[in-house]
Chains A and B, each alone.
Chain A
Amino acid sequence: MIIRVLNDHQYDVPDTELDRLNRLDDVLQSAVDHADQAAFDRALADLLAAVRGIGSPVPDDTIVTSDLVLPGDGSSLEEVSALLGDEGLIPG
């Protein structure tokens, strides 16, 4: 499974870790739903640490789409809400 961390890398993560990542992602979703920046910061840091811990970076010259995309380090709740709210925000 390929996971992109925005403004960082794509990581190749074993499919067996999906459940664990989904649980962390649920916490992140809940933080966004409750507009809780502190909880969001914690959940995002946990999720990114998990992905980097279990995944290996995809080489630069490999072109592959991601199954999951995560906000980058230090993203604000505001930025992420804006991304989710309007697909037109993603350039390219």
Chain B
Amino acid sequence: MAVGIARRLAQLFHIKANKALDRAEDPREVMDYSYQRQLEMLTKVRRGVADVATSRKRLELQLGQLQQSAGKLQSQAEQAVALGRDDIAREALARRGAVQAQIDDIESQRQALVGEEEKLKLAAQRLQAKVEAFRTRKETVKATYTAAEAQTRIGEAVSGISEEMGDVGLAMQRAEDKAAQMQARAGALDELLASGALDDASRPAGRDDLQQALEAARGGSDVDRELAVLKAQVVTGSAPAALGQGEATRDRGESQ
């Protein structure tokens, strides 16, 4: 029978475990040494889970910013359409499309990271349970057996948990690699957002070029409009009654 992938992988794990067993003369020392390694590994895995969660939260923050952006661009497009300015609407929709593509990309990465995070959490729990079991067996072996007797009793426990640590270590590498990639991408995206290159509408002040174009189309900024209202009030204040009555009369006349 050919040696397949599964057997070769198992052998690689066993080589690793046997190295740990060969290290000390007294097998009971091997157990102590292994237990120390297990505790270190547990600490590392828990830190790994926290690191991945941090990356995920940063992604979620960016996702929120981008969604706000997309929403604003959508409403700008609607305003432009209402003003009959399809050119501005088209520009807003094009930008919204670009932002949405980023959102979709980040969302799929976020889901992948959530998956890694969950798996790593489960791996940490499993390792915790095995470390507890190992500690119990270690105490029993130490209390009950001589060094020579202990040899056969601990082989399985040490190599079994060594295999578990190898697996958890791989999972952690994988998750941390993913998280590091996310961090790099998040950094690049933050710069893009800050520069306004991706989307001017994301600026908190909202004074972006689309907004200005919309205001121009509407006939000036809020300040301009308020000024016009003030002026109108001043004018109507001097002769309000005549103008108002005139129009009202005409309206009634048309409706009859």
Q: Which residues of A contact B (CB under 8 A)?
A: 3-4, 6-9, 21-22, 25-26, 28-29, 32, 47, 60-72, 79-80, 83-84, 87, 89-92
With a CB–CB cut-off of 8 A, which chain A residues contact B5?
Answer: 25, 28-29, 32, 70-71, 80, 84
Q: Which of B6, B10, B159 contacts A21 (CB 8 A)?
A: B6
The answer to whether A7 touches B15 (Cβ under 8 A) is: no
- A8 to nearest B CB, angstroms? 8
> What are the nearest 3 A-B pairs in CB distance?
A91-B169, A92-B165, A25-B4
B171 and A6 within 8 A (CB): yes
Give the nearest-CB partner of B173 in chain A: A91
**Are B6 and A63 in contact (CB-based, < 8 A)?**
no
Distance, CA A26 to CA B172, complexed state (A): 28
The reply to whether A66 and B2 form a contact with Cβ atoms under 8 Å apart is: no
What 1/0 mask marks residues of chain B from 117 to 140 whose CB sits below 8 Å from any chain A CB? Answer: 001000101100110111001000
Docked complex Cα distance between A29 and B4 (Å): 6
Q: Are A63 and B134 in contact (CB under 8 A)?
A: yes
What total of A-B pairs shows CB separation below 8 Å? 119
Known pairs A25-B6, A29-B2, A92-B41; A63 contacts B164 (CB<8 A): yes
Give every chain A residue within 8 A of B104 (Cβ-Cβ).
Answer: none
Contact B170 A66 (CB under 8 A): no
Residues in B with CB closer than 8 Å to A71 are: 5, 9
Q: How far is the CA of A25 from the CA of B9 in the complex (A)?
A: 12
Closest beta carbon of chain B to A29's beta carbon, Å: 5
Which of chain B's residues has its CB closest to A3's CB? B6
**Do residues A61 and B132 form an inter-chain contact, with CB atoms below 8 A?**
yes
In the bound complex, CA of A12 to CA of B2 (Å)? 22
Q: Can you report 13 A-B residue pairs in the complex whose CB atoms are below 8 A from each other? A: A4-B10, A22-B1, A26-B4, A29-B2, A29-B4, A60-B129, A61-B133, A64-B160, A65-B17, A66-B13, A72-B171, A90-B13, A90-B16
B156 within 8 A of A: yes
> Which residues of chain A are near B129, meaning CB under 8 Å?
60-61
> B8 on the interface (CB 8 Å rule)?
yes
